[in-house]
Amino acid sequence: MLCAGIIGFRALRLSGIQPRGRLGFYGFGAAAHVAIQLARHWKVEVYVCTRDERHQRLALEMGAAWAGGTVEDSPMKLDSAIIFAPAGEIVPAALRALKKGGTLALAGIHMSPTPPLEYPLLYHERVIRSVANNTRQDGIDFLKIAAEIPIKTEIEVFPLAEANQAVKRLKSDAIRGAAVLRCRQDRVRRGAQSKAESSSR
């Protein structure tokens, strides 16, 4: 909620999507599976493009109007779009899906290089913007709305020792929702106890 959730919320804000608009998601992982719940709460139609069929099914289960392949043409022109996948090669496809004056928000911290863009993809006042920072106000506003909906997250929990396996599963789109690493409970308790002891000295 405090990472993927706020990133998704910030991306929605910067996409400029309005209630009852049409919004495209490119990639459907941790942030997108939270953001779709916010978008649906605002009566936004969501069209999801993602490479894995499991994620397409999850998107439809969560209320997407349509789900297809990563660069598949959306059946409707979009008011806004968000690229959650760190893949620059998706940018031209997302721009092609936008209406005149539409905004494309790039939600990744890292993204592979984007290919050269033909000017007609940007023409008609289309906008590309990055999502770089979350504010305290984003957090306050997001948690308030999350409680109202309420937001429900899909997570897979891995012990810290299996972090490499979790990363491999993320790379192969095998995670439904978000991956969470958990350290052993006794270590957490010992850490809290030693902090308490040192603060009392």
* pLDDT digits 0-9 by tens, 162-184: 899 888 888 777 778 788 888 87
Which part of the chain has CATH 3.40.50.720?
Answer: 4-148
Query: Nearest 5°: CA angle at 11, between 5 and 17?
Result: 120
pLDDT given at position 153: 84
Q: Which of 100, 146, 141, 103 is nearest to 120 (CA)?
A: 100
pLDDT for residue 188 is more than 50: no
Average pLDDT over residues 108-135: 93
pLDDT given at position 187: 52
pLDDT given at position 125: 96
Q: Tell me the whole-structure pTM to 2 decimals.
A: 0.84
State the fold for domain 4-148: Rossmann fold (3.40.50)
Please give the structure tokens belonging to residue 194: 């030693």
